[in-house]
């Protein structure tokens, strides 16, 4: 049967108005209780998987075998993910089964995705599902740590999970915030390869400024911005004072021994800078007897943590307290070798109180 062009044009003109009328009428139900038709459910999941597969093409996957990637990711999973997806230590709460779609139990799902695809899901979230994007877009190091943790999740029992995630905060009530911080930052959970900094004995001014910067979105970390959610500025001051007053157990010198870096070159750069590249001496600001207490103490921190912070400053993603802009300029011309050498030098020094 021959269809005249004028009918096709008329249909194209009328169709949007029909769609608007149907939407205005309220006839299309949006209640989660009604669920999806089977064909709708299939189509949405097929579209999601295809989109993630395509977006992950060409993504370079870094090594994910470092055990130090797991603790901070597990701590974040306990606080930000387990309430929907469950964990080896607790089942999903009943309320999630009223969501549409229902958040999946992750252990059986993880093996169906590649590492690059898991990265895509964690970093960007999934539209229309309640799965949020990572709070700090440029912190790929944190996202990869979460991918490493998820890859281990299917074979993880409750004891191993609790060992990684740390004590669950909340009891006693007055110590909830402290317990939450200790689940990652407790001295006995850190070593010379930790990606998590030691807070014990740090400058209280620096700790308070850092917490406030996270609260105000001036310092970016998907893990820390979730961890400080709900804190007040007064809480930041109290937490800073608490951790500043803790004794620094210190990481054994052998555990802090640099690997593949030149600590002597790092010392020269820390003490003298490199004027021809507009790199000032670190000692101009850090760990001076009469220095600004808002500048952090670097000695005795781990190489990976120090190196990552310097890379973030150099690449313009670090942010922080009222003096962070000084570090952004100071780190602007550091090479990768400079960063490793500086990290090795400060990691090899005994912690300064």
Omega of the bond prior to 101 within 30 degrees of 0, cis? yes
pLDDT digits (tens, 9 = 90+) for 303-348: 999 999 999 999 999 988 899 999 999 999 999 999 999 999 999 9
- Pick left, alpha or beta for residue 200 (phi over 0 → left; psi -120 to 50 → alpha; otherwise beta): beta
Single residue among 114, 144, 164 that ends a domain in this structure: 164
Question: How far is Cα 153 from Cα 170, in angstroms, rounded to an integer?
Answer: 24
- Write out the residue range of the structural domain in which residue 139 sits: 53-164
Q: Residue 76 domain-assigned?
A: yes
Per-residue model confidence (pLDDT) at position 272:
96
Per-residue model confidence (pLDDT) at position 171:
45
Single residue among 125, 144, 164 that ends a domain in this structure: 164
Single residue among 145, 164, 183 that ends a domain in this structure: 164
Per-residue model confidence (pLDDT) at position 172:
41
Per-residue model confidence (pLDDT) at position 233:
85
> Is residue 69 classed exposed, middle or buried when 0-12, 13-18 and 19+ CB atoms within 10 A define those classes?
buried
Q: Residue 211 domain-assigned?
A: no
Q: Residue 22 domain-assigned?
A: no
With a cut of 50, list the residues of the chain below it in pLDDT: 170-174
Question: How far is Cα 88 from Cα 154, in angstroms, rounded to an integer?
Answer: 9
Q: Residue 296 domain-assigned?
A: yes
* CATH code assigned at 148: 1.10.760.10
Per-residue model confidence (pLDDT) at position 133:
96
Q: ∠ at Cα 190 (188, 193), nearest 5°?
A: 155
Q: Residue 278 domain-assigned?
A: yes
pLDDT digits (tens, 9 = 90+) for 195-222: 999 999 999 999 999 999 999 999 999 9
Question: What is the DSSP code string of 228-295?
Answer: TTT--HHHHHHHHHHHHTS------TTTT--SSS-HHHHHHHHHH-BGGGTB--GGGTTT-TT--TTS
Per-residue model confidence (pLDDT) at position 321:
87
Q: State the number of CA atoms in the 13 A half-sphere of 207 facing the CB.
A: 23
CA 232 to chain centre: 21
Q: State the number of CA atoms in the 13 A half-sphere of 130 facing the CB.
A: 14
Q: Residue 113 domain-assigned?
A: yes
Q: Residue 200 domain-assigned?
A: no
Q: Residue 101 domain-assigned?
A: yes
Count of domains in the chain? 2
């Amino acid at each position: 049967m021959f269809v005249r062009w004028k009918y096709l044009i008329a249909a194209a003109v009328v169709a949007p108005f029909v769609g608007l009328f149907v939407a205005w009428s309220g006839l299309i139900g949006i209640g989660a209780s009604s669920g999806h038709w089977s064909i709708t459910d299939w189509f949405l999941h097929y579209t999601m998987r295809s989109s993630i597969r395509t977006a992950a093409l060409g993504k370079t996957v870094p090594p994910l075998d470092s055990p130090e990637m797991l603790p901070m990711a597990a701590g974040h999973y306990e606080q930000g993910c387990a309430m929907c997806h469950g964990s080896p230590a607790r089942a999903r709460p009943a309320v999630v089964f009223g969501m549409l779609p229902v958040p999946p139990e992750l252990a059986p799902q993880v093996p169906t995705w590649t590492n690059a695809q898991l990265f895509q899901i964690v970093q960007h979230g999934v539209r229309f599902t309640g799965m949020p994007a990572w709070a700090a877009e440029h912190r790929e190091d944190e996202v990869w740590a979460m991918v490493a943790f998820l890859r281990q999740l299917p074979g993880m029992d409750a004891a191993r999970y609790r060992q990684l995630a740390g004590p669950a905060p909340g009891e006693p009530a007055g110590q909830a915030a402290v317990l939450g911080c200790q689940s990652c930052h407790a001295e006995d959970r850190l070593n010379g390869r930790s990606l998590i900094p030691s807070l014990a004995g740090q400058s209280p001014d620096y700790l308070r400024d850092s917490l406030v910067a996270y609260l105000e979105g001036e310092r970016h970390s998907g893990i820390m911005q979730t961890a400080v959610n709900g804190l007040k500025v007064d809480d930041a001051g109290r937490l800073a004072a608490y951790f500043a007053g803790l004794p620094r157990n210190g990481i054994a010198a052998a555990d802090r021994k640099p690997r593949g870096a030149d600590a002597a070159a790092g010392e020269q750069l820390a003490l003298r800078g490199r004027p021809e590249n507009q790199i000032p001496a670190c000692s101009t600001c850090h760990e001076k007897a009469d220095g600004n207490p808002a500048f952090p103490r670097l000695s005795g921190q781990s190489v990976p943590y120090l190196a990552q912070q310097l890379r973030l400053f150099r690449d313009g993603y670090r942010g922080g307290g009222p003096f962070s802009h000084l570090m952004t300029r100071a780190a602007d011309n550091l090479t990768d070798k400079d960063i490793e050498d500086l990290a090795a030098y400060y990691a090899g020094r005994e912690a300064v109180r």
